[in-house]
Structure 1
Amino acid sequence: MSYSPDLDAYFSRINDSGSREPTLETLNRLIAAHVRTIPFENLDILLGRPISVGLEAIEQKLVHDRRGGYCFEQNTLFQQVLLALGFSVRA
């Protein structure tokens, strides 16, 4: 089964109700909203807790649990959102 991000929850998390069309304007707006609302966080690493890099686990932590994440979590979530919106993404 393939992963598909919960776009409604993601857009709610970043407080964005704008267009979801894959345009440069949308990309710039999403970048700004993402970095403004989902902070860098490495508390689990510092506390010695295991980190799941599964797509569902990352979405749960950053979107549904409203926590931040470290660079891999942040970029993985953002990549999946962009792909779901129809952007061409290279990683």
Structure 2
Amino acid sequence: MLEKLSTLNEVYHYLDSLFEKNVDSDTLFASGYLRGFISLAASDKADEQEVITTPLIELISQKLIAAKTELSPQDNVIVQNFWIALQQKM
């Protein structure tokens, strides 16, 4: 069983590690895009050991919804699907 990602640092490490693995370009795009949103949502937290909380996840989700028009419909689906999968790891 995979260990849950419980801190910002663990999430960042996981997302960064995808670039070293043999994953498809859609996954790399979505992980990079989401990393930016996670960093933005957590920007008031200086500590990367900050525990992932439901309010933080909800804030990231809200920011993604607000930024939906930045992406093409297809890219938005890719990012949303990756976000759903990432939440399962947290």
Query: What TM-score does the superposition give when structure 2 sets the normalisation length?
Result: 0.31
- The structure with higher relative contact order (CA 8 Å, sep 6+) is 2
Which structure shows the bigger proportion of residues in helix conformation?
2
Query: What TM-score does the superposition give when structure 1 sets the normalisation length?
Result: 0.30
